[in-house]
Amino acid sequence: MTPPAAGQDPGSETGPPRPGMVVVVVFIAALAGRFTLDRVGMDVPVFNDVRVPLLLAVLMCLLLEAHRIGPRAAVGGYCVLPIIGLHGYQVLSATWTPPGAAIAPVIGDLFAVVFFVVVYYTLAKWDRDHVTRITLCCFHAAAWVYFLAASTGRGHAAGGRWAALGGGPNVFVRVMMLGVITSIYLYVSSGGKLRCLVPIPVFMFGAIASGSRGGMVALGITIFILLAASRPRPRWNQLAKPVGLLVVLSIMLALTAGPTIAEFVQNRFFKATFEEGYTSERDVLFAYALRLFWQRPLFGTGVNGFNAFAGISEDLYVHNLPLSIAAEGGFTGLILLGLAWFTLWHAYARTPRDQRSPEARTAAYCGIYIGATCLFSGDYFDARLMWALLLLAVVRPAPPAPLSATGSIAYPWSRTST
């Protein structure tokens, strides 16, 4: 009798069942974020926050799939614990937040992030590459939907900055850049089909039209990490066609659609940034966060204490994840954040290169890009996609135990009698 192949359940001809619709539902819930129905003119109690029905749908899908998931071991699963520990500590810090701070919404955000972390960990240890492949394709489709919605002129932010579907320009640029990265993934995974690269100039146009300077700097950080980590050796004979195609498409797009945003780009990226030194008050927010950190260096002000001490509205926040944790969680929070990032890097570095699938590599750089944008925009909840994508890069199903010559499982401590 032939033993089952690696990853295949005994007695199964086609292997274990794979996750399907649940991956799409989780993606929609994660991407939707804090979207509320009042943005489209509706007000439904409890369900006004779309996270409520979407998270319930995710939970229901997982319960229905539980019998198919089964008790599966995972490689790299230890990375989940520091992430949960970080968010648990932030929830605990609400006990020393100053009076008057609005902590309920933030605690809800933190629990939602932990929910997504646990869900993506569960899916990754079920079938990581399959889940990641579907998720990346969903990001690519979402980039098209966002771009087409923004191209109609609806949802634009102040100053003509492109945005769509109720999200701001900083959300829009993230989706556009993930569309660029997933286009490269589709090109590689398809064996080099040039048509997969066609969306890249389109998504780059949308990213520039968003006016998000932080999003463009985050792209530079991601490219730098990519080059430093992989140290690629250019093969010009293989790069000639894709680079030539991208150059031609970019020139055509610049000549046809460029004039519509030329003045906006000039004012936003050059005049406001270099001539006027406009920073969207990021320097003020960063400086105040550092001041709070040095005043309470060990445990910080407590979650959402930044707003309470600054006396500002709930909608204004630090716009930098490490500084936000430093101000509200102190050295303790920074240590937990560093531990979470270190364990993710450690798990990825320990993975043999021949076991780093294209899906895992793409998820890693998508997560790095989202993490880089968290240095310029976003709060705790906005980092959810970073944690999810980095988990998909490092967590994978454990290989099945090898079979002995007799067909039984050969454990390392077992001995064969002679």
pLDDT per position as a tens digit, 332-349 = 999 999 999 999 999 999
Closest CA to 177 of 143, 227, 226: 143
Cα separation, 318 vs 301, in Å, equals: 13
Residues contacting 295, CB < 8 A, separation 6+? none
Spatial contact of 384 and 112, defined as CB atoms under 8 Å apart: yes
Residue 53: CA atoms inside 13 Å, Cβ hemisphere, count?
A: 11
For residue 175, the model assigns a pLDDT of 95
Distance (Å) of CA 336 to CA 68, 82, 84, 164: 34, 7, 10, 34
For residue 44, the model assigns a pLDDT of 60
Q: Which amino acid is at 270?
A: F
What region, left, alpha or beta, does residue 316 occupy, with left being phi > 0 and alpha being psi -120 to 50 degrees? beta
Strand partners, 36: 49
Average pLDDT over the chain, rounded to an integer: 83
Copy the structure tokens of residue 116. Answer: 């997504």
Q: Does residue 180 have a pLDDT over 80? A: yes
* Centroid of chain to Cα 177: 11
Is pLDDT larger for residue 220 or for residue 231?
220
Secondary structure class of 409 (helix, strand, coil) = strand
Distance (Å) of CA 318 to CA 112, 296, 332, 403: 20, 16, 18, 54
Closest CA to 264 of 311, 202, 213: 213
Cα separation, 87 vs 280, in Å, equals: 28
Cα separation, 108 vs 113, in Å, equals: 9
Residues contacting 273, CB < 8 A, separation 6+? 213
Cα separation, 230 vs 224, in Å, equals: 10
For residue 412, the model assigns a pLDDT of 41
For residue 356, the model assigns a pLDDT of 85
How does pLDDT run across 335-386, given as a tens digit for each residue?
A: 999 999 999 999 999 888 877 899 999 999 999 999 999 999 888 999 999 9
Helices (H), 235-357: 236-256, 258-265, 282-295, 305-310, 321-350
With a pLDDT cut of 70, the percent of the chain lying above it is 85
Closest CA to 341 of 259, 243, 225: 225
Calculate mean pLDDT across residues 308-337.
85
Q: Residue 209: enclosing H or E segment and its boundaries?
A: helix 199-209
How does pLDDT run across 15-73, given as a tens digit for each residue?
A: 567 887 889 999 999 998 777 666 655 566 556 677 888 888 888 888 887 777 766 67
pTM: 0.87
Start-to-end CA distance of the chain, whole Å, equals 23
Cα separation, 392 vs 19, in Å, equals: 14
Secondary structure class of 162 (helix, strand, coil) = coil
Copy the structure tokens of residue 287. Answer: 């400086």
